[in-house]
Amino acid sequence: MSKRPVRTIEDIARLAGVSKSTVSRVLSNSPLISDRTKQRVLAIAKEHNFRIHQPARRLSLRHSSTIGFVTHGHTKNISVEDLFQLEMLGAISAALSSYNYDLLMLHVDPYDNNWPNEYLNTGRVDGFILMTSTRKQHHIQTLLEIQAPFIIWGVPVPPHSYCSVVGDSFRGGHLAGEHLVQSGRKKIAFIGGPEDELEVTLRLQGFQTALDQAGIPADPGLITFGDFTSAFGSQAIRELLERSPEVDAVFANSDIMAIGVINTLHSLGKNVPDDIAVVGYDDLSIAQHATPPLTTIRQHLPQAGQLLVQNLIQHIQTGVVTNVSIPVELVTRGSA
Amino acid sequence: MSKRPVRTIEDIARLAGVSKSTVSRVLSNSPLISDRTKQRVLAIAKEHNFRIHQPARRLSLRHSSTIGFVTHGHTKNISVEDLFQLEMLGAISAALSSYNYDLLMLHVDPYDNNWPNEYLNTGRVDGFILMTSTRKQHHIQTLLEIQAPFIIWGVPVPPHSYCSVVGDSFRGGHLAGEHLVQSGRKKIAFIGGPEDELEVTLRLQGFQTALDQAGIPADPGLITFGDFTSAFGSQAIRELLERSPEVDAVFANSDIMAIGVINTLHSLGKNVPDDIAVVGYDDLSIAQHATPPLTTIRQHLPQAGQLLVQNLIQHIQTGVVTNVSIPVELVTRGSA
DNA sequence: CTGAAAGCGCTTACAG
DNA sequence: CTGAAAGCGCTTACAG
C-alpha cells in the first residue's frame, strides 16, 4: 500500500512468495535454483528496479569489490604532466566495470606510511593499483610489508615479487631509434625522463642499440635526462641546439615532452620534421592532435588497463603473481 | 595468543574490559563516555592500529560517506580536453577527504538513464558531483526525477532548483576584454566554447560590454564558437586571420584553446604578445608553463572543489539547495 | 531445489 | 556513564 516498500531482498521475497535465501541465490545466479523460480524472482526484481545493497553484501562477503587507484596528494601536482595517468585511469575504469568492481580514487599523502591500512583494514578496498616512479618506490615497501594486494604499472624491482604490467621499453626505444635511422637521420638526440627510472634506461638502451646497428656512433652530448613534462622538453631541445646545432632528430620519452620540443622548435623557426624529426612516446590522444601529428611509440593503454585489473583481481583471489610486458608499436604520423 | 585477533570493535572491547557499545561510542567520539574510559580505549585501539570496518558501519548508519564523481564513459574521450576536469577532481578529492568522505569514480554511459539508481539504491554513494555541459543536461533531468542528491559545476538552468557552483563568467569575460582594451588592442577576437553553453554566452556578454565601454564597435566577424579544445583554438585563429588579418588580440575560452592559438601563431611566425595578445580562461597549471606564460582568468578550482563538496554534503544532510557563484580574477602573465 | 537460522561488524535506542 | 540487545541487509552452511 505504501509508496515503495521494495528496498530489500526480503521485500522481493515476500512479493515472490519465497524466502530471502532463494532471492539471494537467484540474484547471485546460483545454479541451485529452479528455472521457474529464478524467472519469477527476476521478473519481480526487475519490475521494481531492485538493486542489492552493497554495504550489506560486502559485510557478508567480507570483501569490497572495489579497488583503489593511488595518486599523490596535492592538487598542485595534477597537471598536463598527469595526462598519462588520466588516460590510464580511463582504461582501468572501463576494465573494472566489466568485472563489477568499483574504483576509489586515493589521493595519498606521500609521507604517510599508514594509508594502505586505512583502506584495507576498513574494508573499503580489496587492493591497489599504482603507477610507479622513483618517488613512489617506498610505497611498494609499505604495501609489501603489510602484505597488501596490489599491482603496479612499471618495472618491478628485483628482490621482491609482486604483480606488474609494463610496456616493453627496450623495444620502444629500439623502434624509435630504428625509425629515425631509417629515415636518414644522423644526429639523433635522446631526451629522457628521469635517469634513475628503469623504463628510461631501457628506452635509452634500445635506442642506442638501434643506432649501433646502423653504425651511428654514440654521442653522449646528445643525451639528456629530466622529467616527462613539456617544460623539460622545451628546455632540453633549446640547450641541445646550443651545444649541437646539427641535431636533425629527437626521440622524446613522452608525447608531452615531444610537444614541448615541437613548440620550441616552431618558435625557433625550425620545421618539423624537415629540419628536425621528433618522435614521442605513449601515444596519448593528444599525439594525433599535435601539429604536426606525432609519430610515437604506442603503449596500448586500454590493454594495459585491462591487464592491470584482470591480474590484480586474480591476485586477490588466488595469490598468483604475474608480471607482464606489453608489446609496443611504432605509430608513424607527421612529426618523423 | 594467536597472531592478530584484533580486527573488530569486539576485540578492542575485550582488551579494554568494556562493552562493544562503549568502544563504538568512544570511536565515534560520543560525549557520553567518561574521559578515563575514552583514553584507555583509544590507547588500545591505537596500539593495535585498529580501524573501523566501513561496510559494517555504512550498513548500520544507512549511508555510505562516499560521493560519486560523474564522468563520461569511453576511454577515448579522455584527453587534454579534460584537463580542467582533472584539476577539478584533485580539488574535490582534497575537500572530500577533509570531511572523511570517499570518492568513487563513475564512468557513466551517456545513453544509460538508470545509472543514478545503480549507485544510490545500492548504497554505494550518497550523492553525485558532475561537471555540466550541454550533452549532460539530460543527466540532470534523470537525477531530478529520482530525487538524487547532486551538485553541478555549471550554471543551473531555470525551471528546476538544484545545487550548483560556478565561476562568474560575465565578470570573467569582462575582465578579459577590459585588460585587452587597456593594453591598447583594437581588433579583439573572441574564440568561444560551444555557443549553446550559458557560460560561453555570459563570457561573450561580459567581453562585449568591456569593448562597448571602451567605444570599440562590435564586430561579429571576430566572434567564433566551437569547443574547448586546443585543436579548435588552432583552427579558429587560422580562419580568423584569413578573414581579418588585422586582429591584434584574442580572448580564448579556455587555457587549452589559448595554447592552441599560441602554437599556431608561432608557426605562422607571429609574436605573442607583440603581434597578437592572447588571454585564456581557467588558469590551470599548464597556464603558467606555456610559452609565453598565459595571461588568463583564474577560476579558483581549489575553492570550487571545496564548495562543491561542502554544499553537496550539506544538501544531503539538510536538503538545503545552494547556488554559488565564485569570483574570478585576472592573472597577468606574458601572453597579454 | 528451498527455507530457517546464524553471522558479517557495526550503531543506538532502551534500561539502568 | 555503561551494557545487553536489536537491527542494518545481505550470504551461506545446514537440514530437509
For the stretch A248-307, pLDDT in tens is 999 999 998 998 899 889 878 899 999 999 999 999 988 887 888 999 999 999 999 999
CA closest to C1' of C5 belongs to A21
Residue B298 beta carbon within 7 A of nucleic strand D: no
Q: CA B191, C1' C5: Å apart?
A: 69
The residue among A262, A265, A289, A300 with the most chain B CBs within 10 A of its CB, best to mutate, is: A289
Chain A residues 260 to 299 with C-beta below 7 Å from nucleic strand D: none
Cell numbers 591500512: residue: A117
Confidence of residue A77 (pLDDT cuts 50, 70, 90): very low
B98 touches A: beta carbon within 8 Å: no
Contacts of B80 in chain A (CB under 8 A): 80, 83, 284-286, 289
pLDDT, position A111? 82
Nucleotides of D under 7 A from a protein CB: 1-5, 7-13
Contacts 24+ apart (CB under 8 A), B232-239: B232/B191, B232/B257, B232/B260, B233/B191, B233/B257, B233/B258, B233/B259, B233/B260, B233/B261, B233/B264, B234/A291, B234/B260, B234/B261, B234/B263, B234/B264, B236/B191, B236/B261, B237/B189, B237/B191, B237/B261, B237/B264, B237/B265, B238/B264, B238/B268
pLDDT, position B268? 86
CB B238, CB B265: distance < 8 Å: no
Mean pLDDT of B319-334: 96
Confidence of residue B135 (pLDDT cuts 50, 70, 90): low
B266 touches A: beta carbon within 8 Å: yes
Tell me the nt nearest to A25, Cα to C1'.
D11
B49 touches A: beta carbon within 8 Å: yes
Tell me the nt nearest to A21, Cα to C1'.
C3
Confidence of residue B283 (pLDDT cuts 50, 70, 90): very high
Mean pLDDT of A312-336: 95
Q: CA A102, C1' C12: Å apart?
A: 30
Taking CB atoms and an 8 Å limit, are B263 and A264 in contact across chains?
A: no
Other Cβ atoms within 10 Å of A5 Cβ, number? 12
Contacts of A78 in chain B (CB under 8 A): 86-87, 89-90, 285
The residue among B60, B65, B71, B79 with the most chain A CBs within 10 A of its CB, best to mutate, is: B79
Taking CB atoms and an 8 Å limit, are A94 and B107 in contact across chains?
A: yes
Asked if the model's pLDDT at residue A47 lies above 60, the reply is yes
Distance of CA A50 to the CA centre of its chain: 34
Taking CB atoms and an 8 Å limit, are B97 and A107 in contact across chains?
A: yes
Asked if the model's pLDDT at residue A136 lies above 80, the reply is no
Return d(Cα B101, Cα B95) in angstroms, integer: 9
B80 touches A: beta carbon within 8 Å: yes
Q: Between residues B19 and A263, which one has the greater pLDDT?
A: B19
CA closest to C1' of C8 belongs to A60
Which residues, at least 6 apart from A143, have a Cβ–Cβ distance to it below 8 Å? Answer: A116, A128, A150, A162
Confidence of residue A75 (pLDDT cuts 50, 70, 90): very low
Tell me the nt nearest to A22, Cα to C1'.
C2
B286 touches A: beta carbon within 8 Å: yes
B53 touches A: beta carbon within 8 Å: yes
CA closest to C1' of D8 belongs to B60
Please calculate the CA angle A190-A195-A199 and round it to the nearest 5 degrees: 80
B46 touches A: beta carbon within 8 Å: no
Residue A157 beta carbon within 7 A of nucleic strand C: no
What the block records as the C-alpha cell of A72 is 599523490
Question: Which H or E run includes B249?
Answer: strand B249-252
Confidence of residue A85 (pLDDT cuts 50, 70, 90): confident
Which residues, at least 6 apart from B61, have a Cβ–Cβ distance to it below 8 Å? Answer: none
